[in-house]
Amino acid sequence: MLNYKQELAKKISEITNIDTSELISYIEIPPNPSLGDYSFPCFRLAKEMKKAPPVIANEIKEQMLDEDWIEKIDVVGGYLNIFTNKKILVENVLGEVISKQEDYGKSDVGNGKTVVIDYSAPNIAKPFHIGHLRSTVIGGALYKMYQFLGYKVIGINHLGDWGMGICRTMAGYRMWKDEYDFTENPINSVLAIYVRYNKIEKEDPDFKKYAVEELKKLEAGDEETVALWKWIIKISLEDYQKIYDLIGCKFDSYNGEAFYNDKMDRVVKELEEKHLLVESEGAKVVMMDENIPPCIILTSAGTTIYATRDLAALLYRIDTYDFDKCLYLVASEQSLHFKQVFEVLSKMGYKKYADRCEHIPFGLVLDEDGEKMGSRKGNAVTLSEIFNEAIEKSLKIIEEKNPDLEEKEEVAKMVGVGAIIFNDLANNRIKDEIFDWNQVLNFAGETGPYMQYTYVRTQSILRNAGYVPENADYSKLLDSEAIDVVKQLANFTDTVKSGVEKNEPSILSRYLIDLAQSFSRFYNEHHILCDDKDTQDARLALTEAVGIVIKSGLELLGIRCPVKM
Ligand code: ARG
């Protein structure tokens, strides 16, 4: 497909001898298409070319007029306002979308580059809490977006599978296992035990000793204790997997904290050799440059901590993946932790890799009253509860709106899950997410169901037509609503690219909303099924292309599209 910006920059570069990559960054898209499809300010070239901007603009204009994809060029002051030939544009874009189908928009810019995405990472034996929703959803979307652009992606679930949390559950399990049922949903019993143990420990701190005992046995490799530990991890993962399947997210490794037990000596040894470890109040720490507290490597009791494990994990990831980027999808509360870890890595002599690491923070999930979700009122807290509720509510809406729909349960699943995902990705990730059921499932708002509904509409139009047009006459699509849609379709790859550049899937979700709204405007203004067969064919082609891009875009976010709803 003709990449207009690229082509424009190339042409201007031939005329001015200035680098294409520099020129491309100057190209603007005027807010109002009546001022042109692209605009190029010549001011920045004035110094180099030793001419006044309007003179340069006129020179460039003269030499570009015979390009067939350009319809006209206006020179306004030092600006070139370029109007593209709409018929060629439409032909180019729709031709490409329809011929490539679900491959439309893919790119190879990432070929040869490896991105590690550390995401989800729940803590075993504690509920898969709403707090891990965002990491899972944003990480899952980035995983697919990077892949779409040709990167090699390694998704890592750095499970919290070691330490006192899981040991409390183990101690409690030994005390009370006969009181619980582990046949149906063993995870629920395990969680109940965890909660019960904590409650007692809160009132009687001495109770902690049983969990400490478990940790000691675990560290000593006691066979029976290790077996119990493994079993709890197994049933937890089986539970998480249900959520991962719903969201469609994938991990290439489940190496969690425990995996690094035997890999932390290396961290301590390297730090000692490089004279970076200093004593501070009995602990061994690395001092930081900036005004941030030192990074503890060994506590005064001689034990390793979260940061020690993250350093061991980084050394392992450098050796194993030789990554070009390593992203951490973790709440903003852990910003200091990652600053420290990256700085220690850099001081250890791995600056190149430290510079490739990035903490990708995000805001909290708040309920409709602006309070931290799950903090009171007993509203749903575990992800299974939330997803189940969304699916149930969606089913109710479907029962009301379309009682005869086939496979209602399956559609309700897509809608409910899609609603939660889209709500999570709809805004800038750093903003707190408001979780208001009325909003999340609002078919008319800027929501997942609205996007799915738009897709369903494209499919029902095609079904009603009864055929898919081959060879449409694209000169029938020159109205401003159609052109607007086509221009957006053309921006799909660039949108995914900027989403990846900023590690911000909301750039893609915003784009999809805009596309859906543009298509609605087109749909409201024009009859797609009409008397003139050529016009109908062209409009159907546009409809098909919109369906393709919405479906691909939603899939990148982890949302599936029903054909009917
Ligand atoms: N399990 C941790 C938590 O819930 C998140 C782990 C993130 N990844 C990492 N490499 N530290 O807070």
Ligand 1 centroid vs 264 CA: distance in angstroms?
Answer: 17
Any domain includes 100 = no
Any domain includes 473 = yes
The C-alpha atoms of residue 317 and residue 325 are separated, in whole angstroms, by 11
Lining ligand 1 with CB less than 6 A are: 118, 121, 123, 158, 160, 310, 313, 328, 330
Residues in the chain: 565
200: Cβ contacts below 8 Å, ≥ 6 apart: 207
Q: What is the CATH number of the domain that holds 446?
A: 1.10.730.10
Ligand 1 centroid vs 67 CA: distance in angstroms?
Answer: 55
Residue owning the nearest CA to atom 6 of ligand 1: 121
Q: What is the DSSP letter of 333?
A: G
The C-alpha atoms of residue 498 and residue 506 are separated, in whole angstroms, by 10
Ligand 1 centroid vs 496 CA: distance in angstroms?
Answer: 26
Any domain includes 95 = no
DSSP per-residue codes, 97-162: HHHHGGGTT---TTTT-EEEEE---PBTTS--BGGGHHHHHHHHHHHHHHHHTT-EEEEE---B-S
What 58-64 contacts at long range (C-beta under 8 Å, 24+ apart), as own/partner pairs, is 59/15, 60/12, 60/15, 60/16, 63/15, 64/11, 64/12, 64/15
Ligand 1 centroid vs 353 CA: distance in angstroms?
Answer: 19
Ligand 1 centroid vs 145 CA: distance in angstroms?
Answer: 22
The C-alpha atoms of residue 425 and residue 403 are separated, in whole angstroms, by 30
Q: What's the pLDDT at 374?
A: 62
Ligand 1 centroid vs 123 CA: distance in angstroms?
Answer: 8
Q: Which of 160, 158, 169 is nearest to 211 (CA)?
A: 169
Residue owning the nearest CA to atom 5 of ligand 1: 121
pLDDT digits over 511-533, tens only?
Answer: 999 999 999 999 999 999 999 99
Please choose from 116, 330, 344 the residue to mutate so as to test ligand 1's pocket, defined by most ligand atoms within 8 A of CB.
330
Please choose from 154, 334, 339 the residue to mutate so as to test ligand 1's pocket, defined by most ligand atoms within 8 A of CB.
334
Q: What's the pLDDT at 240?
A: 92
The C-alpha atoms of residue 282 and residue 331 are separated, in whole angstroms, by 30
Number of C-beta neighbours around residue 386 at 10 A: 24
The C-alpha atoms of residue 187 and residue 273 are separated, in whole angstroms, by 45
| Number of domains present in the structure of the chain | 3
Ligand 1 centroid vs 30 CA: distance in angstroms?
Answer: 43
Looking at the fold, whether 189 and 317 belong to one and the same domain comes out as: yes
Ligand 1 centroid vs 120 CA: distance in angstroms?
Answer: 8
Ligand 1 centroid vs 487 CA: distance in angstroms?
Answer: 41
Q: What is the mean pLDDT of residues 531-544?
A: 96
Ligand 1 centroid vs 332 CA: distance in angstroms?
Answer: 11
Q: Of 84, 101, 132, which residue constitutes the final position of a domain?
A: 84
Place 378 in a pLDDT band, splitting at 50, 70 and 90.
very low
Ligand 1 centroid vs 545 CA: distance in angstroms?
Answer: 40
Q: What's the pLDDT at 375?
A: 53
Per the DSSP assignment, residues forming a β-bridge with 329 are: 360
Looking at the fold, whether 521 and 427 belong to one and the same domain comes out as: yes
Ligand 1 centroid vs 158 CA: distance in angstroms?
Answer: 6
Output the CA torsion 16→21→24→25 (10° steps). -120
Per the DSSP assignment, residues forming a β-bridge with 325 are: 115
Any domain includes 131 = yes
Q: What's the pLDDT at 419?
A: 97
Looking at the fold, whether 228 and 167 belong to one and the same domain comes out as: yes
Q: Of 39, 67, 84, which residue constitutes the final position of a domain?
A: 84
pLDDT digits over 466-521, tens only?
Answer: 998 888 999 999 999 999 999 999 999 999 999 999 999 999 999 999 999 999 99
Ligand 1 centroid vs 275 CA: distance in angstroms?
Answer: 28
Q: Of 65, 84, 103, which residue constitutes the final position of a domain?
A: 84
pLDDT digits over 290-344, tens only?
Answer: 789 999 999 998 889 999 999 999 999 999 999 999 999 999 999 999 999 999 9
Any domain includes 288 = no
Q: Which two tokens stand for residue 417?
A: 């899950």
Q: What's the pLDDT at 262?
A: 95
Residue owning the nearest CA to atom 11 of ligand 1: 310
Q: What's the pLDDT at 371?
A: 83
Domain, as residue range, for 407: 383-557
Q: What is the mean pLDDT of residues 120-139?
A: 89
Q: What's the pLDDT at 506?
A: 98
Number of C-beta neighbours around residue 464 at 10 A: 10
Looking at the fold, whether 334 and 425 belong to one and the same domain comes out as: no
Which run of H or E residues covers position 173? helix 164-176
Residue owning the nearest CA to atom 9 of ligand 1: 158
Q: What's the pLDDT at 131?
A: 76
Q: What's the pLDDT at 561?
A: 97
Looking at the fold, whether 157 and 8 belong to one and the same domain comes out as: no
Q: What is the DSSP letter of 249?
A: -
Looking at the fold, whether 146 and 181 belong to one and the same domain comes out as: yes
Any domain includes 563 = no
Looking at the fold, whether 52 and 167 belong to one and the same domain comes out as: no
**Atom nearest to 123 CA in ligand 1:** 1
Any domain includes 294 = no
pLDDT digits over 73-125, tens only?
Answer: 999 989 999 999 999 999 999 999 999 999 999 999 999 999 999 999 999 97
Distance of CA 560 to the CA centre of its chain: 15
Any domain includes 289 = no
**Atom nearest to 159 CA in ligand 1:** 1
pLDDT at 216 over 80: yes
Looking at the fold, whether 55 and 190 belong to one and the same domain comes out as: no
Looking at the fold, whether 312 and 443 belong to one and the same domain comes out as: no
Looking at the fold, whether 355 and 491 belong to one and the same domain comes out as: no
Residue found by looking up tokens 């020159």 in the block: 478
Residue 13 in contact with residue 64, Cβ under 8 Å?
no
Q: What is the CATH number of the domain that holds 231?
A: 3.40.50.620
pLDDT at 379 over 60: no
Helix (H, G, I), strand (E, B) or coil at 68: coil
Distances (CA, A) of 200 to 210, 479, 545: 12, 70, 60
pLDDT at 150 over 50: yes
Amino acid at 78: G
76: Cβ contacts below 8 Å, ≥ 6 apart: none
Residue 354 in contact with residue 328, Cβ under 8 Å?
no
The C-alpha atoms of residue 8 and residue 20 are separated, in whole angstroms, by 9
Q: Are strands 70-76 and 114-118 parallel, antiparallel or unpaired?
A: unpaired
Ligand 1 centroid vs 121 CA: distance in angstroms?
Answer: 5
Angle, CA of 460, 462 and 468, to the nearest 5°: 160
Which run of H or E residues covers position 24? helix 20-26
By percentage, how much of the chain surpasses pLDDT 70?
98
Helix (H, G, I), strand (E, B) or coil at 528: coil
Looking at the fold, whether 48 and 150 belong to one and the same domain comes out as: no
**Atom nearest to 330 CA in ligand 1:** 7
**Atom nearest to 334 CA in ligand 1:** 12
Q: Which two tokens stand for residue 166?
A: 């899981």
Q: What's the pLDDT at 458?
A: 98
pLDDT digits over 395-446, tens only?
Answer: 999 999 999 999 999 999 999 999 999 999 999 999 998 888 889 999 889 9
Place 370 in a pLDDT band, splitting at 50, 70 and 90.
confident
pLDDT digits over 251-283, tens only?
Answer: 999 999 999 999 999 999 999 999 999 999 999
| Residue 123, φ and ψ in degrees, nearest 5 | -100, 120
Ligand 1 centroid vs 117 CA: distance in angstroms?
Answer: 12
Looking at the fold, whether 387 and 353 belong to one and the same domain comes out as: no
Q: What is the CATH number of the domain that holds 76?
A: 3.30.1360.70
Helices 86-100 and 480-490, interaxial angle, to 10°? 50
pTM for this prediction: 0.94
Please choose from 120, 128, 158 the residue to mutate so as to test ligand 1's pocket, defined by most ligand atoms within 8 A of CB.
158
Residue owning the nearest CA to atom 8 of ligand 1: 158
pLDDT digits over 27-36, tens only?
Answer: 999 999 899 9
Q: What's the pLDDT at 558?
A: 97
pLDDT digits over 346-355, tens only?
Answer: 999 999 999 9
Residue 121 in contact with residue 330, Cβ under 8 Å?
yes
**Atom nearest to 132 CA in ligand 1:** 4
